[in-house]
Amino acid sequence: MLAEGAAQLQAAGIETARLEARWLLAHMAGLQMSDLIMHGRDAVPTEDCKAFRAALARRVAHEPIQHILGTTEFYGLEFLCDARALIPRPDSECVVEEALRRIPADRPVQVADLGTGSGCLLAALLTNRPQAQGRGVEANLAAASLAQENLAKLGLSDRADIFEGSWANWQGWGEADLIISNPPYIASAEIDSLMPEVRAHDPMDALDGGPDGLVSYRQIIRLAAAHMKRGAWLVFEIGHDQREAVSTLLQEAGFAEIDSSKDLGGNDRAVWAQLPNL
């Protein structure tokens, strides 16, 4: 079964074909990955064969494996994952790390996540700052429902809620000590060149950042400059070629302490800034 699955995935252009075949077979058979070694010579039950082949067909069609498995891991936490929101990705973990460096661990703080999607950034912050309270802001009602499910699954609903609406209509700017955001940042003309797993399965409103990919950054920075708490931090995830542009927008809006960091792949991924005290 593993050989059959790996061959199909490889023929479909899936780079990690054998690994993904193992994930799918283990998941559909209700086993751990290590169990596949122990039970490698056992006959696969008929129902598990059917489930595995159905999952293979979905993956061969380039549906993300995270959607097929129904969950994914991010920052050491397990999140429900489906087509309602962007898939949490390891590249975003460095953005969480930079945000955590800017909020204290020993006293209560308020954090907000604009365009929260699955809720992964917000949940990671709250899990690592037990005294923090948080709010996710999400205009896509389907994504907002997924975020609420993830917060409940992780036992965080008592410290966080979801505002269902745009960041332009959100009234909590002046309460947050830190605002984090992974806004849509792909330039519209580049959407068609994305991998089919992204282009055909992620919500378009979470991808399309307008003609230059910077529309959401301009909106958020303008609102933050006008309404954020003085001394609060703004932390962005950015595209690999957007560090200079986003940093310039922050500087022009009057932010200070502007800096950036790279992800594990060596690409620019996080930019942050502080709204200075008067």
- Whether 183 has a binding-site annotation, put simply, is yes
Q: What is the pLDDT of residues 36-57, one digit of tens each?
A: 888 878 888 999 999 999 999 9
If you average pLDDT over every residue of the chain, what do you get? Answer: 96
Please determine, for residue 278, whether its predicted confidence score (pLDDT) is greater than 80: no
Q: Which residues contact 9 (CB under 8 A, 6 or more apart)?
A: 17, 18, 20, 21, 56, 59, 60
Q: What is the pLDDT of residues 193-213, one digit of tens each?
A: 999 999 999 999 999 999 999
- Whether 182 has a binding-site annotation, put simply, is yes
CB 267 within 8 A of CB 261: no
Burial 92-121 (b: 16+ CB within 10 A, else e): bbbbbebbbebbeeeeebbbbbbbbbbbbb
Q: What is the pLDDT of residues 212-260, one digit of tens each?
A: 999 999 999 999 999 999 999 999 999 999 999 999 999 999 999 999 9
CA angle 7, 8, 14 (to 5 degrees): 90
- Whether 5 has a binding-site annotation, put simply, is no
Q: Would you state the pLDDT for residue 102?
A: 97
Please determine, for residue 271, whether its predicted confidence score (pLDDT) is greater than 80: yes
- Whether 119 has a binding-site annotation, put simply, is yes
* 34 — pLDDT class (breaks 50, 70, 90): confident
Question: What domains sit in the chain, N to C, each tagged with a CATH number?
Answer: 2-61 (no CATH), 84-274 (3.40.50.150)
Handedness of CA 163, 119, 183, 95 (dihedral sign): positive
Could you give the dihedral angle defined by the CA atoms of residues 262, 264, 267 and 270, in that order, rounded to the nearest 10 degrees?
-40
Provide the residue type at 75 as one letter. Answer: Y
